[in-house]
Structure 1
Amino acid sequence: MATLPDGTRLVVPVLAASGGSTRSTVAHLLADELACTGDTVVADLSPRLASPWPTWTTDAHAEGLAAIPPDQPLTRSAIRHAAAIRQSESARWSVLTDTREWHAAPLDLPSDPAAWYQLAAAGGWQVLIADTAHPAAHDLIESRCSGAPSLTQAWCGLPFTVPVLCAQSSAAGIQALQQAVMVLHAEGLPLQRTVVALSAAADGRLPAVAKAAATMLSARTAAVVHLPHDADIRAHGLSAQPARIRARTRQAARELATAVLAAAHDSYGDPLPDALQPAARPHPAA
Structure 2
Amino acid sequence: MLATGLAAAGRTVVVDTGPRLSSPWPSWTAGQEAGGLAALPADQALTRTQVQQAAALQRPAAGPGWQVLTDGRDWHSPPLPLVSDPAAWYQLAAIGGWQVVIADTTHPVAHDVLDSRCAGRTSQTRGWCDLPYAIPVLCAAATSSGIQALQQAVMALNAEGLPLHRAVAVLVATTDGRLPAVVRAGATMLTPRTAAVVHLPHDPHIRAHGLREPARLRPRTRQAAAQLASAVLAAAFAAWGQTLPDAPCPAPLSAAVPAL
TM over 0.5: yes
Q: Which one of 34, 39, 46 corresponds to residue 11 of structure 2?
A: 39
Tell me the equivalent position of 2:194. Answer: 221
State the AA in 2 paired with 1:174.
I
State the AA in 1 paired with 2:93.
A
Tell me the equivalent position of 2:152. Answer: 179
Displacement of 1:282:
6.2
Q: Which one of 56, 65, 79 corresponds to residue 28 of structure 2?
A: 56
SS of the aligned residue for 2:244 comes to: coil
Tell me the equivalent position of 2:224. Answer: 252
Displacement of 1:60:
2.2
Distance in 2, matches of 1:150 and 1:114, equals 12
State the AA in 1 paired with 2:22.
A
Distance in 1, matches of 2:104 and 2:33, equals 22
Tell me the equivalent position of 2:131. Answer: 158
SS of the aligned residue for 2:233 comes to: helix
Q: Which one of 141, 144, 159 corresponds to residue 117 of structure 2?
A: 144
Identity of aligned residues (%): 62
Whether 1:30 and 2:25 are equivalent positions in the alignment is no
Distance in 2, matches of 1:56 and 1:250, equals 18
Residue-pair matches, total = 256
Tell me the equivalent position of 1:22. Answer: none
Moved beyond 6 Å, runs of 4+: 282-285
Displacement of 1:192:
0.3
Work out whether residues 59 and 85 of structure 1, in 8 Å CA contact, stay in contact via their aligned partners in 2. no
Listed as ranges, the matches of 1:1-286 within 5 Å are 29-88=1-60, 89-239=62-212, 241-280=213-252
Distance in 2, matches of 1:149 and 1:189, equals 12
Displacement of 1:275:
1.2
- What whole-Å deviation, never above 9, does each CA across 1:113-167 have from its counterpart, x for those lacking one? 0000010011000011001010000000100111132100110111100000111
Structure 1 pair 99–208 and aligned structure 2 pair: CA distance change class (3 A): same
Work out whether residues 59 and 84 of structure 1, in 8 Å CA contact, stay in contact via their aligned partners in 2. no
TM-score by length of 2: 0.95
SS of the aligned residue for 2:211 comes to: helix
- What whole-Å deviation, never above 9, does each CA across 1:46-99 have from its counterpart, x for those lacking one? 110000000001242100100001111110000000001101121110100001
Distance in 1, matches of 2:132 and 2:152, equals 26
State the AA in 2 paired with 1:251.
Q
Work out whether residues 43 and 97 of structure 1, in 8 Å CA contact, stay in contact via their aligned partners in 2. yes
SS of the aligned residue for 2:140 comes to: strand
Any stretches of 5+ residues in structure 1 without a counterpart?
Answer: 1-28
SS of the aligned residue for 2:2 comes to: helix
Deviates more, 1:210-219 or 1:76-85: 210-219
Structure 1 pair 148–283 and aligned structure 2 pair: CA distance change class (3 A): closer
State the AA in 1 paired with 2:53.
H
Any stretches of 5+ residues in structure 2 without a counterpart?
Answer: none
Work out whether residues 62 and 82 of structure 1, in 8 Å CA contact, stay in contact via their aligned partners in 2. yes
Distance in 2, matches of 1:126 and 1:192, equals 23
Q: Which has the higher contact order (CA 8 A, sep 6+)?
A: 1
- Cα RMSD (Å): 1.3
TM-score by length of 1: 0.87
Structure 1 pair 281–186 and aligned structure 2 pair: CA distance change class (3 A): closer
State the AA in 2 paired with 1:196.
A
Displacement of 1:284:
8.3
SS of the aligned residue for 2:107 comes to: strand
Distance in 2, matches of 1:100 and 1:167, equals 29
SS of the aligned residue for 1:117 comes to: helix
Distance in 1, matches of 2:203 and 2:9, equals 25
